[in-house]
Structure 1
């Protein structure tokens, strides 16, 4: 509260050159991170390892703090734009595994936890790399948040010590759904044609995946096995579209790695045994994904090339996205019986340039792994197609004003 003493004094706790890992996205322990930012100028230089940022915590931070992440998501773009964020180009599954293998070594871990009436602790909104980071850290500081939901699957392991506990002064970070627009609805209509009853869905954050989910309320016996869930999942469950009955594994259970939404979602998952917040090794593991029936991976992109290669990381040499779990789930969907890997994106960027390009500048998903590309202009089915046919199909779903230039580029290369 304003005027109250700081909940913790980081003097002597942060060491010169140490790596401080904090919970990502809605699992950010905001009481701790806000306090650390306030005190940072009086501490020795250190590095913060962050994931997606949906709070304003790091909008201003002392220059002796550097930042690392596996991508540029949410407000992390401000840090990247200011040249303060080093991106580690890694699949999300590998990034998390690197903490377990001690290739990333945290000195201090800041984590938000929920506490049950019997004293059990849960990592609540995210079961990612933080637990493995804490297992090898010198110091683990937990923010106990009474407003954080207690989730099953994310129970804090008894063998990982909590060295200090702080009472939360903030409710968990929320991320409301982005309002839909005509383009996202048109993309959703095309994508929905690829999603059969009984499919199991994976999806990310943003307007396009939200639009696709909102278009599926008529579907039957859908399942969820995803890197995240949001408020739209609650809608689908309450409308009876999601039953998790036909997944082949985890019958009746919505499986996720992170919970990203509003208090409505947090209330829904609290002590709900029909939702499991599982570790990345399970949610993104290829041996797990291949066992799921009709896994449909829905991911986005910044660009797609005429050969089908997908770029979700950079534009004009500047990092503005992430590899994330895209390739994990594309390959998992390709290995799933009846699975589909959908890359969905608007055909044009906000400045009017085409997002269907001759060649992408960074390859996130290789052309060999691509399945279906969807824009508001239709679906390009690319699996098993040669390069010439791929180019024709990609040009057909580009914005009409860019098709001639794209076709001319193909002709010029012949």
Structure 2
């Protein structure tokens, strides 16, 4: 069975690529259904892109690599595609775009685009053998109890990274890349909650508030969520991509709150009330109770001098914590690192030394921020490879 292009992986990048390749195209996936990560994303509504997507929202050993693909297929191109399929959407915070309805609409849109392009889809299909041939690639796959032999001119790796193994993530693209001599950058879980081995935040589980999380490289102002394992929420997930094991992080619990002025004013009107009571007007009460066990907060507000209030503000705005680790690939939204961009063309996503081999999506060492950026990389890189194949 001969194809012009075989795409391994029926996720966001793989299906997007299939819609643009032209010729006879086959998409293979070992899952029961296509687009499983799309289906669960955004609470079932799929944060499919971000209004502000640009090269600065991506991590890579080569920060310039993503520029070409992102420029040639932008977030607005994908928004136009969504609109042509009649999918209603809305903006949430920080430019995040979601379906009004269900993430299944995005999956169906991609399947419709694939069908229109004449691409085939095989699910529950396992790749058992893969080798390079003079004309392209030869594969052996298991499907419906049969061992089938396939060949193709172009092979696209779109199987993603290692994140969320319960969804079927295996790191297959990395194994294939190594087989063909492509280099790898270090991989680790990203967009993932922090853990603390002593269970220090169990009593705060469920408490959330706006916060600024930072380290020596960057900072993020978004929601912070305490969990029974540690810290989560958008600000934590964002910082996790820039965090290294053993590193201390800084938590500002009052990033946009003029707390010193507020407490000083309250000292005039409510001085007889406990400091903790008045502080709980501005921070979650359970958090204040917890902090009072670790930070001096005794006495009434009237007893607090300006210096004491300043000291309190300094602690609340620079709470230093050292996570013991992260929750790992089990809950990570994405894999940081991957197939080295030095071995790929930024314009076509083709391997420089393996003609006909393309790598797209999460498998590449390009990792987006939380908020629709990784989907945009899937659309842009899939489009780049698909159009390059069509133009050969």
RCO (CA 8 Å, sep 6+): is it higher in 1 or 2?
Answer: 2
Q: TM-score range by the shorter chain?
A: under 0.3
Q: Answer with 1 or 2: which has the greater Rg.
A: 2
**TM-score after normalising by structure 2:** 0.25
Higher helix proportion (structure 1 or 2): 2
